[in-house]
Amino acid sequence: MGGAVGINLIFFPLILKRKPFMANRFSLSEKTKIDQNLIIGSMMFGIGWGISGICPGPAIVNLVSFKFEVVIFVVSMLLGMVLYNKKGTDLP
């Protein structure tokens, strides 16, 4: 992790000076403030990852294994996304 963060600190500013291959510009979040939504979302992500032991990206790739745990994880993740989008961006 430390190696990845170190490489990112060096190369990210250099990469941002370039133009993306398949877009006119990089799409970066304009939010700079840490708010309640960010904290709650981060906690939910961490808890879900801790309980399942798998990250969302590799879980999608692991769907080809048809393991029950992976399928349940991905279905739950997608359901959470759908419910969040139906409710909107305002959390209590």
* pLDDT of 11 above 90: yes
Does pTM top 0.75 for this prediction? no
Tokens of residue 39, six digits: 């904290």
Domain coordinates in residue numbering, the chain:
2-87
Is there a contact between 63 and 74 (Cβ–Cβ < 8 Å)?
yes
Q: Rounded to whole angstroms, how far apart are CA atoms 26 and 3?
A: 24
**pLDDT at residue 75, rounded to an integer:** 93
| Cα separation, 43 vs 51, whole angstroms | 12
What is the rounded CA–CA span in Å between residue 30 and residue 41?
17
Digit-coded pLDDT (tens) for 28-43:
888 889 999 889 988 9
On whether the CB atoms of residues 74 and 48 are closer than 8 A, the answer is: no
Which residue has tokens 């992500």? Answer: 45
